[in-house]
Amino acid sequence: MKLGRAFELPFSNNKGEFNAAMTFILGFKPKDIAWYTRAFTHRSMNQKDNSGNPLNYERLEFLGDAMLGVIISKYLFKEVPNGNEGYLTKMRSKIVSRQHLNELGRELELDKYLESRISAEQFGENIFGNLFEALVGAIYLDRGHDYCERFIRMRVIEPHVDIERLEGKVMSYKSLMIEWCQKQKKVFRFEIVEDQGVDERPHFSVRFILEDQVISRARETSKKRAEEKASQRAFYAMQDRINASNHG
């Protein structure tokens, strides 16, 4: 099936500037800039095609996520010939983790190009990773698999993928601490309190408690992030003890 244009460009006053910015980020010239415009259009813009279908980055994000998975899997399959399925899956998860994709999107300052009726302060950290995935999806539709792989190699693999370093990267300190406590038969719990404070957005204060002793505290805008931060602080506070027990 032949793909048509994504939709008419809303960047009517800055077409040349946007085109130049995309060329710099991609490392090649787009053929159909409309796909990239769509990749930076938020649903709040309420863009629709002639059939009334929504035109924003969310479907491209879905496609980009799939392409990242395929291309990173292919890279790991070739680079780590002795890695089993479990190892390869774990390594791929580290490379395409939400945290890493957010870092990539922030590094490229992708939020600068986002068309939205919502203020930037209302977007969470994940907007960076979402836009990065949408950009990958746009590349695939505009230029195909080879250019998509070329971009991922240039922006993800070559500057950021170090197999040995990734092997030791912790994906979740909360999971690590829970696993250690269970293995050592230690009683632990997270105490969570909603804490409005002086902030406009609700915050949550979390304490990580090990056998009735408060090991760490953290405060974040979601329970999940607060628990993860408290777990990370607990890990560093107990690192020598954890390492000793793991090697004992």
Question: Bridge partners of 213?
Answer: 210
The active-site residue, picked from 8, 32, 65, 191, is 65
Looking at 144, 167, 190, which one is the last position of a domain?
A: 167
Q: What percentage of the chain carries pLDDT values higher than 90?
A: 59
How confident is the model at residue 12, as a pLDDT?
39
Indicate whether 71 belongs to any domain: yes
55 found inside a domain: yes
Shared domain for 159 and 179, answered yes or no, is no
Distance (Å, whole) CA 163 – CA 147:
24
* Domain membership of residue 45 as a residue range: 15-167
Q: Are residues 156 and 226 in the same domain?
A: no
Q: Choose the catalytic residue: 8, 49, 133, 220.
A: 133
162 is annotated as an active-site residue:
no
Q: What's the CATH code of the domain at 29? A: 1.10.1520.10
Claim to verify: residue 32 and residue 140 sit in the same structural domain: yes
To the nearest whole number, what is the mean pLDDT of the chain? 87
Poorest-confidence range of 98-107, 155-164, 192-201? 192-201
pLDDT tens figures, 39-83: 999 999 999 988 999 999 999 999 999 999 999 999 999 999 998
| Neighbour tally for 246: CB within 10 Å | 10
On the question of pLDDT at 8 being above 70, the answer is no
| Nearest one of 185, 242, 184, 174 to 208, comparing CA atoms | 174
Q: Report how many domains make up the chain.
A: 2
Q: Can you give the pTM of this predicted structure? A: 0.70
Quickly state the pLDDT bin for 3 (edges 50, 70, 90): very low
Q: Any catalytic annotation for residue 49? A: no
The answer on pLDDT for 171 being more than 90 is: no
Is 204 found in the same domain as 160? no
